[in-house]
Structure 1
Amino acid sequence: MARDRANISIDIWSDADFRDLTPQAQALYFKLVSHPKLDYCGCVEFHPGRLAAMSREMTSGDVMVAAQELADKWFCVFDQTTDEVLVRSWVRHDGLMKQPRLAVSMAKAYGAIASNKIRAVVVHELQRYKKENKELPAWEKPQVMTVLKQPAVAVRETKTELTWDFPGFLPFTDMATTNATGNV
Protein backbone atom coordinates (compact mmCIF):
# COMPACT_ATOMS: atom_id res chain seq x y z
CA MET A 1 0.00 0.00 0.00
CA ALA A 2 1.43 3.37 -1.02
CA ARG A 3 1.26 6.40 1.22
CA ASP A 4 -1.56 8.76 0.36
CA ARG A 5 -1.21 11.36 3.10
CA ALA A 6 1.23 13.04 5.43
CA ASN A 7 0.50 13.16 9.15
CA ILE A 8 1.69 16.48 10.51
CA SER A 9 0.78 17.13 14.11
CA ILE A 10 -0.28 20.65 14.98
CA ASP A 11 2.03 20.26 17.98
CA ILE A 12 4.84 21.12 15.57
CA TRP A 13 4.01 24.77 16.28
CA SER A 14 4.69 24.18 19.99
CA ASP A 15 8.24 23.09 19.22
CA ALA A 16 10.57 26.01 19.90
CA ASP A 17 13.26 24.55 17.63
CA PHE A 18 10.86 24.30 14.69
CA ARG A 19 9.58 27.82 15.28
CA ASP A 20 13.20 29.02 15.27
CA LEU A 21 13.71 27.79 11.69
CA THR A 22 13.57 30.23 8.81
CA PRO A 23 10.42 30.15 6.65
CA GLN A 24 12.47 28.55 3.85
CA ALA A 25 13.63 25.71 6.11
CA GLN A 26 10.09 25.17 7.40
CA ALA A 27 8.80 25.08 3.81
CA LEU A 28 11.44 22.53 2.79
CA TYR A 29 10.59 20.41 5.82
CA PHE A 30 6.91 20.37 4.81
CA LYS A 31 7.85 19.54 1.21
CA LEU A 32 9.89 16.57 2.39
CA VAL A 33 7.26 15.31 4.84
CA SER A 34 4.54 15.47 2.20
CA HIS A 35 6.68 14.36 -0.75
CA PRO A 36 4.88 11.68 -2.78
CA LYS A 37 8.01 9.49 -2.85
CA LEU A 38 8.75 9.64 0.89
CA ASP A 39 9.10 6.05 2.07
CA TYR A 40 7.92 4.41 5.29
CA CYS A 41 11.22 5.27 6.99
CA GLY A 42 10.86 8.97 6.17
CA CYS A 43 13.53 8.85 3.47
CA VAL A 44 13.33 10.32 -0.02
CA GLU A 45 15.72 11.12 -2.86
CA PHE A 46 17.36 14.53 -2.46
CA HIS A 47 17.38 16.49 -5.70
CA PRO A 48 17.51 20.25 -4.99
CA GLY A 49 16.40 21.20 -8.50
CA ARG A 50 13.30 19.04 -8.32
CA LEU A 51 12.44 20.32 -4.86
CA ALA A 52 12.92 23.90 -6.04
CA ALA A 53 10.57 23.29 -8.96
CA MET A 54 7.79 22.50 -6.50
CA SER A 55 7.56 26.22 -5.56
CA ARG A 56 7.47 29.39 -7.58
CA GLU A 57 10.55 31.58 -7.18
CA MET A 58 12.62 28.94 -5.38
CA THR A 59 16.05 27.98 -6.67
CA SER A 60 18.29 25.00 -6.09
CA GLY A 61 20.48 27.31 -4.04
CA ASP A 62 17.52 28.23 -1.83
CA VAL A 63 16.88 24.53 -1.27
CA MET A 64 20.53 23.96 -0.33
CA VAL A 65 20.53 26.80 2.20
CA ALA A 66 17.32 25.50 3.78
CA ALA A 67 18.64 21.93 3.70
CA GLN A 68 21.82 22.91 5.53
CA GLU A 69 19.72 24.65 8.17
CA LEU A 70 17.57 21.53 8.63
CA ALA A 71 20.73 19.43 8.94
CA ASP A 72 22.36 21.86 11.38
CA LYS A 73 19.26 21.76 13.59
CA TRP A 74 18.97 17.94 13.28
CA PHE A 75 15.55 17.91 11.63
CA CYS A 76 16.88 16.04 8.61
CA VAL A 77 19.87 13.93 7.68
CA PHE A 78 21.26 14.43 4.18
CA ASP A 79 23.66 12.19 2.31
CA GLN A 80 24.72 13.68 -1.00
CA THR A 81 26.78 10.62 -1.91
CA THR A 82 23.54 8.63 -2.22
CA ASP A 83 21.21 11.58 -2.99
CA GLU A 84 18.99 10.80 0.00
CA VAL A 85 17.45 12.75 2.84
CA LEU A 86 15.82 11.45 6.01
CA VAL A 87 13.14 13.33 7.91
CA ARG A 88 14.59 12.23 11.24
CA SER A 89 11.48 12.02 13.41
CA TRP A 90 9.10 10.76 10.73
CA VAL A 91 8.93 7.17 12.01
CA ARG A 92 8.33 8.45 15.52
CA HIS A 93 5.52 10.85 14.59
CA ASP A 94 3.72 9.27 11.63
CA GLY A 95 2.01 6.58 13.68
CA LEU A 96 2.96 3.71 11.40
CA MET A 97 4.56 1.69 14.20
CA LYS A 98 1.11 1.41 15.78
CA GLN A 99 0.08 -0.69 12.78
CA PRO A 100 2.09 -3.93 12.56
CA ARG A 101 1.68 -4.28 8.78
CA LEU A 102 3.00 -0.77 8.21
CA ALA A 103 5.88 -1.54 10.57
CA VAL A 104 6.82 -4.39 8.23
CA SER A 105 6.59 -1.94 5.31
CA MET A 106 8.95 0.35 7.23
CA ALA A 107 11.42 -2.51 7.67
CA LYS A 108 11.30 -3.21 3.92
CA ALA A 109 11.84 0.48 3.15
CA TYR A 110 14.85 0.42 5.49
CA GLY A 111 16.41 -2.25 3.28
CA ALA A 112 16.17 0.08 0.26
CA ILE A 113 18.06 2.97 1.89
CA ALA A 114 21.52 3.20 0.34
CA SER A 115 23.13 5.56 2.88
CA ASN A 116 24.71 3.85 5.88
CA LYS A 117 24.59 7.17 7.71
CA ILE A 118 20.84 7.47 7.22
CA ARG A 119 20.26 3.79 8.01
CA ALA A 120 22.04 4.19 11.35
CA VAL A 121 19.93 7.22 12.29
CA VAL A 122 16.71 5.37 11.37
CA VAL A 123 17.71 2.53 13.70
CA HIS A 124 18.54 4.94 16.52
CA GLU A 125 15.19 6.73 16.15
CA LEU A 126 13.38 3.39 16.08
CA GLN A 127 15.20 2.25 19.24
CA ARG A 128 14.24 5.50 20.99
CA TYR A 129 10.63 5.04 19.97
CA LYS A 130 10.62 1.45 21.22
CA LYS A 131 11.85 2.56 24.66
CA GLU A 132 8.92 4.99 24.88
CA ASN A 133 6.33 2.58 23.43
CA LYS A 134 7.30 -0.92 24.55
CA GLU A 135 3.76 -2.25 24.30
CA LEU A 136 3.38 -1.98 20.51
CA PRO A 137 2.90 -5.33 18.72
CA ALA A 138 5.10 -4.12 15.86
CA TRP A 139 8.20 -4.91 17.92
CA GLU A 140 7.38 -8.64 17.64
CA LYS A 141 7.59 -8.65 13.83
CA PRO A 142 10.77 -10.45 12.68
CA GLN A 143 11.49 -7.79 10.04
CA VAL A 144 11.34 -5.01 12.66
CA MET A 145 13.48 -7.01 15.09
CA THR A 146 16.11 -7.36 12.36
CA VAL A 147 16.20 -3.59 11.79
CA LEU A 148 16.51 -2.91 15.52
CA LYS A 149 19.70 -5.04 15.63
CA GLN A 150 21.49 -2.94 13.00
CA PRO A 151 24.11 -0.27 13.80
CA ALA A 152 22.60 2.85 15.35
CA VAL A 153 23.87 6.44 15.51
CA ALA A 154 22.21 9.42 17.19
CA VAL A 155 21.54 12.27 14.79
CA ARG A 156 23.61 14.62 16.95
CA GLU A 157 26.63 12.43 16.24
CA THR A 158 26.28 13.04 12.51
CA LYS A 159 27.58 15.96 10.51
CA THR A 160 26.25 17.20 7.22
CA GLU A 161 28.12 19.66 5.07
CA LEU A 162 26.26 20.05 1.83
CA THR A 163 28.26 20.83 -1.28
CA TRP A 164 27.17 23.82 -3.31
CA ASP A 165 27.40 22.65 -6.91
CA PHE A 166 25.60 25.54 -8.53
CA PRO A 167 27.71 27.81 -10.79
CA GLY A 168 27.84 31.35 -9.46
CA PHE A 169 25.95 30.49 -6.28
CA LEU A 170 27.41 31.44 -2.92
CA PRO A 171 25.11 30.88 0.05
CA PHE A 172 26.60 33.75 2.04
CA THR A 173 28.09 37.08 1.02
CA ASP A 174 31.18 36.63 3.19
CA MET A 175 33.61 35.20 0.61
CA ALA A 176 36.26 34.65 3.28
CA THR A 177 34.23 31.80 4.82
CA THR A 178 33.66 29.95 1.56
CA ASN A 179 36.29 27.55 0.30
CA ALA A 180 37.03 26.56 -3.29
CA THR A 181 34.49 23.70 -3.32
CA GLY A 182 31.71 26.03 -2.32
CA ASN A 183 31.41 24.61 1.21
CA VAL A 184 30.81 27.03 4.01
Structure 2
Amino acid sequence: MSRRYANILTAIWRNDDFRALTGGGQRLFLLLCTQPDISAAGVLSLNIKRWSRCAKDTTPQSIVKDLQELEAGRFIVVDGDTEELLVRSFVRWDNGYGNPKRRPVIIRAAQEVESAAIRRSLTSEFNRLGLPVEGVDDSLSASLPDSAPRPSLPPQQPVESFSQVNSLSGSASASDGVVVSQGPYVSPQPSNHNPQTQPSAETPAAPSAPAPAKSKRGTRLPEDWKPTQRLHGWAAGKHFSFDLDRENEKFCLHWWSATGKGATKLNWDMAWQKWMLQAEDQLPARRGGHLRPVPSRGKDLAPTAGDLASSQSPADRGMAAALDLAARFKDRSVS
Protein backbone atom coordinates (compact mmCIF):
# COMPACT_ATOMS: atom_id res chain seq x y z
CA MET A 1 0.00 0.00 0.00
CA SER A 2 1.42 3.38 -0.95
CA ARG A 3 1.78 6.19 1.54
CA ARG A 4 -0.93 8.86 1.45
CA TYR A 5 0.77 11.77 3.20
CA ALA A 6 4.07 12.99 4.65
CA ASN A 7 5.04 15.38 7.44
CA ILE A 8 7.50 18.09 6.45
CA LEU A 9 8.25 20.27 9.48
CA THR A 10 8.82 23.99 9.17
CA ALA A 11 12.10 23.53 11.07
CA ILE A 12 13.67 22.39 7.81
CA TRP A 13 14.24 26.04 6.88
CA ARG A 14 16.38 26.61 9.98
CA ASN A 15 18.85 23.84 9.07
CA ASP A 16 22.10 25.34 7.76
CA ASP A 17 22.99 22.29 5.64
CA PHE A 18 19.61 22.32 3.95
CA ARG A 19 19.72 26.06 3.29
CA ALA A 20 23.15 25.62 1.71
CA LEU A 21 21.54 23.59 -1.09
CA THR A 22 20.36 25.14 -4.33
CA GLY A 23 16.69 25.57 -4.99
CA GLY A 24 16.69 22.54 -7.26
CA GLY A 25 18.37 20.40 -4.60
CA GLN A 26 15.90 21.50 -1.93
CA ARG A 27 12.93 20.82 -4.16
CA LEU A 28 14.17 17.37 -5.09
CA PHE A 29 14.77 16.48 -1.46
CA LEU A 30 11.18 17.41 -0.59
CA LEU A 31 10.01 15.48 -3.63
CA LEU A 32 11.88 12.34 -2.52
CA CYS A 33 10.53 12.50 1.05
CA THR A 34 6.95 12.79 -0.22
CA GLN A 35 7.01 9.98 -2.78
CA PRO A 36 4.16 7.52 -2.20
CA ASP A 37 6.48 4.52 -2.67
CA ILE A 38 9.15 5.47 -0.11
CA SER A 39 9.66 2.53 2.26
CA ALA A 40 9.62 2.58 6.04
CA ALA A 41 13.43 2.44 5.87
CA GLY A 42 13.55 5.53 3.63
CA VAL A 43 14.47 3.64 0.43
CA LEU A 44 13.22 4.45 -3.08
CA SER A 45 13.82 2.95 -6.48
CA LEU A 46 15.34 5.34 -9.02
CA ASN A 47 12.58 6.87 -11.12
CA ILE A 48 14.36 9.80 -12.75
CA LYS A 49 12.03 10.17 -15.71
CA ARG A 50 8.95 10.03 -13.51
CA TRP A 51 10.39 12.63 -11.11
CA SER A 52 11.25 14.91 -14.00
CA ARG A 53 7.56 15.02 -14.99
CA CYS A 54 6.54 16.56 -11.63
CA ALA A 55 7.21 20.09 -12.96
CA LYS A 56 7.15 21.42 -16.49
CA ASP A 57 10.55 23.11 -16.16
CA THR A 58 12.31 19.96 -14.87
CA THR A 59 14.28 17.60 -17.09
CA PRO A 60 15.93 14.22 -16.43
CA GLN A 61 19.30 15.94 -16.72
CA SER A 62 18.40 18.46 -13.99
CA ILE A 63 17.19 15.62 -11.75
CA VAL A 64 20.55 13.87 -12.12
CA LYS A 65 22.36 17.12 -11.28
CA ASP A 66 20.26 17.68 -8.17
CA LEU A 67 20.75 14.05 -7.08
CA GLN A 68 24.50 14.54 -7.30
CA GLU A 69 24.23 17.68 -5.14
CA LEU A 70 22.18 15.87 -2.48
CA GLU A 71 24.60 12.94 -2.48
CA ALA A 72 27.61 15.24 -2.12
CA GLY A 73 25.91 16.86 0.88
CA ARG A 74 25.25 13.37 2.38
CA PHE A 75 21.49 13.83 2.34
CA ILE A 76 21.01 10.67 0.28
CA VAL A 77 22.84 7.47 -0.76
CA VAL A 78 22.46 6.44 -4.41
CA ASP A 79 23.43 3.03 -5.82
CA GLY A 80 23.42 3.19 -9.60
CA ASP A 81 24.02 -0.57 -9.90
CA THR A 82 20.93 -1.64 -8.00
CA GLU A 83 18.95 1.51 -8.92
CA GLU A 84 18.09 2.25 -5.30
CA LEU A 85 18.18 5.48 -3.31
CA LEU A 86 18.21 6.00 0.48
CA VAL A 87 17.16 9.18 2.27
CA ARG A 88 19.74 9.24 5.05
CA SER A 89 18.56 9.37 8.68
CA PHE A 90 14.99 8.80 7.50
CA VAL A 91 14.34 6.15 10.17
CA ARG A 92 15.79 8.31 12.93
CA TRP A 93 13.74 11.39 12.16
CA ASP A 94 10.61 9.52 11.13
CA ASN A 95 10.60 8.50 14.81
CA GLY A 96 8.65 5.31 14.20
CA TYR A 97 11.41 2.98 15.36
CA GLY A 98 10.21 3.32 18.98
CA ASN A 99 6.77 1.98 18.09
CA PRO A 100 6.58 -1.81 18.69
CA LYS A 101 4.18 -2.19 15.76
CA ARG A 102 6.33 -0.09 13.45
CA ARG A 103 9.75 -1.60 14.20
CA PRO A 104 9.13 -4.89 12.33
CA VAL A 105 8.01 -2.94 9.25
CA ILE A 106 11.19 -0.85 9.27
CA ILE A 107 13.44 -3.90 9.76
CA ARG A 108 11.70 -5.86 7.03
CA ALA A 109 12.03 -2.92 4.63
CA ALA A 110 15.76 -2.73 5.34
CA GLN A 111 16.19 -6.49 4.81
CA GLU A 112 14.66 -6.19 1.35
CA VAL A 113 17.28 -3.65 0.20
CA GLU A 114 19.60 -5.07 -2.47
CA SER A 115 22.35 -2.42 -2.40
CA ALA A 116 25.31 -3.25 -0.14
CA ALA A 117 26.13 0.46 0.20
CA ILE A 118 22.62 1.30 1.38
CA ARG A 119 22.61 -1.72 3.72
CA ARG A 120 25.89 -0.47 5.19
CA SER A 121 24.38 2.97 5.83
CA LEU A 122 21.23 1.43 7.35
CA THR A 123 23.34 -0.85 9.58
CA SER A 124 25.16 2.18 10.96
CA GLU A 125 21.87 3.96 11.56
CA PHE A 126 20.24 0.91 13.19
CA ASN A 127 23.20 0.48 15.56
CA ARG A 128 22.82 4.12 16.58
CA LEU A 129 19.10 3.68 17.26
CA GLY A 130 19.42 0.32 19.02
CA LEU A 131 17.53 -1.58 16.33
CA PRO A 132 18.42 -5.20 15.49
CA VAL A 133 20.51 -5.59 12.34
CA GLU A 134 19.96 -9.28 11.67
CA GLY A 135 19.39 -9.71 7.95
CA VAL A 136 20.63 -6.17 7.28
CA ASP A 137 24.36 -6.30 8.08
CA ASP A 138 25.45 -8.90 5.57
CA SER A 139 29.15 -9.76 5.30
CA LEU A 140 29.86 -6.90 2.91
CA SER A 141 27.94 -4.35 4.95
CA ALA A 142 29.54 -5.39 8.23
CA SER A 143 33.09 -5.37 6.86
CA LEU A 144 32.99 -1.90 5.28
CA PRO A 145 32.54 1.37 7.17
CA ASP A 146 29.64 3.64 6.33
CA SER A 147 32.05 6.17 4.82
CA ALA A 148 33.55 3.66 2.33
CA PRO A 149 33.16 4.41 -1.41
CA ARG A 150 29.88 3.24 -2.83
CA PRO A 151 28.33 2.94 -6.27
CA SER A 152 26.82 6.24 -7.19
CA LEU A 153 25.70 8.47 -10.03
CA PRO A 154 28.70 9.19 -12.28
CA PRO A 155 29.08 12.88 -13.23
CA GLN A 156 28.07 12.35 -16.88
CA GLN A 157 25.90 9.26 -16.46
CA PRO A 158 23.30 9.10 -19.26
CA VAL A 159 19.82 9.21 -17.84
CA GLU A 160 18.55 6.54 -20.23
CA SER A 161 20.79 3.89 -18.62
CA PHE A 162 18.57 3.75 -15.51
CA SER A 163 15.60 1.49 -15.60
CA GLN A 164 12.32 3.05 -14.59
CA VAL A 165 10.90 -0.11 -13.01
CA ASN A 166 9.53 0.61 -9.51
CA SER A 167 10.56 -2.66 -7.91
CA LEU A 168 10.20 -1.48 -4.28
CA SER A 169 6.86 0.29 -4.47
CA GLY A 170 4.84 -0.51 -1.35
CA SER A 171 7.03 -3.47 -0.40
CA ALA A 172 7.78 -2.31 3.17
CA SER A 173 4.57 -0.56 4.15
CA ALA A 174 1.93 -3.11 3.30
CA SER A 175 1.30 -4.14 6.89
CA ASP A 176 0.25 -0.82 8.36
CA GLY A 177 -0.38 1.55 5.51
CA VAL A 178 0.93 5.06 6.05
CA VAL A 179 4.60 5.93 6.47
CA VAL A 180 5.24 9.41 7.91
CA SER A 181 8.20 10.96 6.11
CA GLN A 182 10.72 13.27 7.74
CA GLY A 183 14.17 13.96 6.37
CA PRO A 184 17.51 14.33 8.15
CA TYR A 185 16.81 17.95 8.79
CA VAL A 186 14.27 17.55 11.59
CA SER A 187 14.36 16.23 15.13
CA PRO A 188 11.75 14.20 16.99
CA GLN A 189 9.21 16.63 18.36
CA PRO A 190 8.33 16.85 22.06
CA SER A 191 4.78 16.52 23.27
CA ASN A 192 4.09 20.27 23.06
CA HIS A 193 4.89 20.29 19.32
CA ASN A 194 7.29 23.23 19.63
CA PRO A 195 10.00 22.93 16.99
CA GLN A 196 13.52 22.55 18.43
CA THR A 197 16.88 23.64 17.09
CA GLN A 198 17.77 21.08 14.47
CA PRO A 199 21.02 19.06 14.44
CA SER A 200 22.91 18.28 11.25
CA ALA A 201 22.11 15.25 9.16
CA GLU A 202 24.77 13.09 10.87
CA THR A 203 24.57 14.30 14.50
CA PRO A 204 22.26 12.45 16.91
CA ALA A 205 19.66 14.65 18.55
CA ALA A 206 20.28 15.34 22.23
CA PRO A 207 17.24 14.60 24.42
CA SER A 208 15.38 17.79 25.10
CA ALA A 209 14.94 18.75 28.75
CA PRO A 210 11.32 19.21 29.86
CA ALA A 211 10.25 22.80 30.20
CA PRO A 212 10.03 23.92 33.85
CA ALA A 213 6.48 24.15 35.08
CA LYS A 214 5.28 27.61 35.96
CA SER A 215 4.56 28.06 39.66
CA LYS A 216 0.95 28.90 40.53
CA ARG A 217 1.71 29.74 44.17
CA GLY A 218 1.74 33.34 45.31
CA THR A 219 4.77 35.07 46.83
CA ARG A 220 5.27 37.86 49.31
CA LEU A 221 6.17 41.34 48.11
CA PRO A 222 9.97 41.40 47.61
CA GLU A 223 11.79 43.77 49.94
CA ASP A 224 13.42 45.54 47.01
CA TRP A 225 10.22 45.78 44.94
CA LYS A 226 9.64 49.06 43.09
CA PRO A 227 7.14 50.08 40.40
CA THR A 228 8.55 49.57 36.95
CA GLN A 229 8.66 52.19 34.21
CA ARG A 230 5.67 50.46 32.66
CA LEU A 231 3.66 50.94 35.86
CA HIS A 232 4.69 54.59 36.10
CA GLY A 233 3.55 55.09 32.52
CA TRP A 234 0.25 53.38 33.28
CA ALA A 235 -0.33 55.60 36.33
CA ALA A 236 0.52 58.75 34.36
CA GLY A 237 -2.15 57.85 31.83
CA LYS A 238 -4.77 57.55 34.59
CA HIS A 239 -4.18 61.14 35.85
CA PHE A 240 -4.62 60.20 39.51
CA SER A 241 -5.53 63.04 41.89
CA PHE A 242 -3.54 61.74 44.86
CA ASP A 243 0.18 61.75 45.67
CA LEU A 244 1.42 58.67 43.81
CA ASP A 245 4.71 58.39 45.75
CA ARG A 246 2.93 58.53 49.12
CA GLU A 247 0.35 55.97 48.00
CA ASN A 248 3.11 53.70 46.73
CA GLU A 249 4.81 53.93 50.14
CA LYS A 250 1.55 52.96 51.82
CA PHE A 251 1.20 50.00 49.44
CA CYS A 252 4.69 48.66 50.22
CA LEU A 253 4.46 49.17 53.99
CA HIS A 254 1.07 47.47 54.08
CA TRP A 255 2.15 44.31 52.25
CA TRP A 256 5.60 44.06 53.84
CA SER A 257 3.94 44.00 57.26
CA ALA A 258 0.96 41.84 56.28
CA THR A 259 0.65 38.23 57.47
CA GLY A 260 -1.46 35.25 56.51
CA LYS A 261 -2.58 33.87 53.18
CA GLY A 262 -3.65 37.27 51.92
CA ALA A 263 -0.07 38.54 52.12
CA THR A 264 0.96 36.62 48.99
CA LYS A 265 0.08 37.47 45.39
CA LEU A 266 0.61 35.84 42.02
CA ASN A 267 1.29 39.16 40.30
CA TRP A 268 2.45 42.14 42.36
CA ASP A 269 2.29 44.53 39.42
CA MET A 270 -1.41 43.87 39.01
CA ALA A 271 -1.90 44.15 42.80
CA TRP A 272 -0.24 47.58 42.69
CA GLN A 273 -2.51 48.74 39.86
CA LYS A 274 -5.59 47.54 41.74
CA TRP A 275 -4.43 49.38 44.88
CA MET A 276 -4.03 52.65 42.98
CA LEU A 277 -7.45 52.36 41.36
CA GLN A 278 -9.04 51.74 44.75
CA ALA A 279 -7.18 54.73 46.21
CA GLU A 280 -8.67 56.93 43.48
CA ASP A 281 -12.17 55.53 44.15
CA GLN A 282 -11.85 56.30 47.86
CA LEU A 283 -11.35 60.04 47.25
CA PRO A 284 -14.38 62.32 48.02
CA ALA A 285 -16.95 62.13 45.24
CA ARG A 286 -16.62 64.69 42.46
CA ARG A 287 -19.41 66.92 41.21
CA GLY A 288 -19.12 69.41 38.40
CA GLY A 289 -15.33 69.12 38.34
CA HIS A 290 -14.89 70.23 42.01
CA LEU A 291 -14.73 68.30 45.26
CA ARG A 292 -17.87 68.46 47.38
CA PRO A 293 -17.34 70.46 50.60
CA VAL A 294 -16.98 68.04 53.51
CA PRO A 295 -17.16 69.47 57.07
CA SER A 296 -14.36 68.36 59.35
CA ARG A 297 -16.46 68.40 62.56
CA GLY A 298 -20.07 68.97 63.62
CA LYS A 299 -22.88 71.09 62.21
CA ASP A 300 -21.37 74.26 63.59
CA LEU A 301 -18.77 74.08 60.83
CA ALA A 302 -21.29 73.75 57.99
CA PRO A 303 -20.25 75.89 55.00
CA THR A 304 -21.89 79.28 54.52
CA ALA A 305 -23.90 80.20 51.46
CA GLY A 306 -20.91 82.09 50.09
CA ASP A 307 -18.56 79.15 50.63
CA LEU A 308 -21.05 76.78 49.09
CA ALA A 309 -21.53 79.02 46.05
CA SER A 310 -17.81 79.34 45.54
CA SER A 311 -17.40 75.56 45.54
CA GLN A 312 -20.19 74.96 43.04
CA SER A 313 -19.73 74.56 39.33
CA PRO A 314 -21.16 77.17 36.89
CA ALA A 315 -24.02 74.79 36.06
CA ASP A 316 -24.93 74.38 39.74
CA ARG A 317 -24.81 78.15 40.33
CA GLY A 318 -27.05 78.74 37.31
CA MET A 319 -29.59 76.21 38.56
CA ALA A 320 -29.57 77.83 42.02
CA ALA A 321 -30.19 81.29 40.51
CA ALA A 322 -33.11 79.98 38.48
CA LEU A 323 -34.72 78.41 41.54
CA ASP A 324 -34.26 81.63 43.53
CA LEU A 325 -35.91 83.67 40.76
CA ALA A 326 -38.85 81.28 40.61
CA ALA A 327 -39.31 81.58 44.37
CA ARG A 328 -39.43 85.36 44.14
CA PHE A 329 -42.16 85.30 41.49
CA LYS A 330 -44.14 82.89 43.62
CA ASP A 331 -43.94 85.18 46.65
CA ARG A 332 -45.15 88.16 44.61
CA SER A 333 -48.12 86.27 43.20
CA VAL A 334 -49.18 85.19 46.66
CA SER A 335 -48.95 88.74 48.06
**Category of TM-score, reference length = shorter chain:** 0.7 to 0.9
Distance change in 2, residues 1:34/1:53 (3 Å): same
Aligned residue type for 1:62 = S
Distance change in 2, residues 1:12/1:160 (3 Å): farther
**1:58, distance to aligned residue in structure 2 (A):** 0.4
Instruction: Give the structure 1 partner of residue 17 of structure 2.
Output: 17
**1:96, distance to aligned residue in structure 2 (A):** 1.1
Instruction: Give the structure 1 partner of residue 117 of structure 2.
Output: 117
Contact 1:61 1:166 in 2 (8 A): yes
The residue matched to 2:134 in structure 1 has which SS? helix
Q: Deviations over 1:86-111 (max 9, x none)?
A: 00011011111121111100111112
Instruction: Give the structure 1 partner of residue 3 of structure 2.
Output: 3
Instruction: Give the structure 2 partner of residue 146 of structure 1.
Output: 134
Q: Distance in 2 between matches of 1:54 and 1:66?
A: 14
**1:12, distance to aligned residue in structure 2 (A):** 1.7
Higher helix share: 1
How many percent of aligned residue pairs carry the same amino acid? 28
Distance change in 2, residues 1:45/1:18 (3 Å): same
Q: How does 1:127-142 map to 2 (within 5 A)?
A: 127-130=127-130, 139=131
The residue matched to 1:100 in structure 2 has which SS? coil
Q: Deviations over 1:31-62 (max 9, x none)?
A: 11010000000000012111111222100000
Contact 1:43 1:86 in 2 (8 A): yes
**1:158, distance to aligned residue in structure 2 (A):** 3.9
Contact 2:80 2:152 in 1 (8 A): no
Q: Distance in 2 between matches of 1:34 and 1:44?
A: 11
- Equivalent pairs, count: 155
2:138 is the counterpart of 1:162: no
2:53 is the counterpart of 1:60: no
The residue matched to 1:124 in structure 2 has which SS? helix
Q: Distance in 2 between matches of 1:126 and 1:29?
A: 22
Contact 2:25 2:69 in 1 (8 A): yes
Distance change in 2, residues 1:101/1:2 (3 Å): farther
More moved, 48-57 vs 67-76: 48-57
Q: Distance in 2 between matches of 1:42 and 1:21?
A: 20
Runs of 4+ in 1 over 6 A off after TM superposition: none
**1:2, distance to aligned residue in structure 2 (A):** 5.1
Contact 1:79 1:115 in 2 (8 A): yes
Aligned residue type for 2:25 = A
Instruction: Give the structure 1 partner of residue 96 of structure 2.
Output: 96
The residue matched to 1:97 in structure 2 has which SS? coil
Q: Deviations over 1:72-97 (max 9, x none)?
A: 00000000111110000110111111
Instruction: Give the structure 2 partner of residue 81 of structure 1.
Output: 81
More moved, 33-42 vs 103-112: 103-112
2:25 is the counterpart of 1:34: no
Instruction: Give the structure 2 partner of residue 182 of structure 1.
Output: none
Q: Distance in 2 between matches of 1:28 and 1:103?
A: 27
**1:10, distance to aligned residue in structure 2 (A):** 2.3
More moved, 1-10 vs 30-39: 1-10
Aligned residue type for 1:165 = P
Stretches of structure 1 that go unaligned for 5 or more consecutive residues are 131-138, 168-184
The residue matched to 1:78 in structure 2 has which SS? strand
Distance change in 2, residues 1:160/1:81 (3 Å): closer
The residue matched to 1:106 in structure 2 has which SS? helix
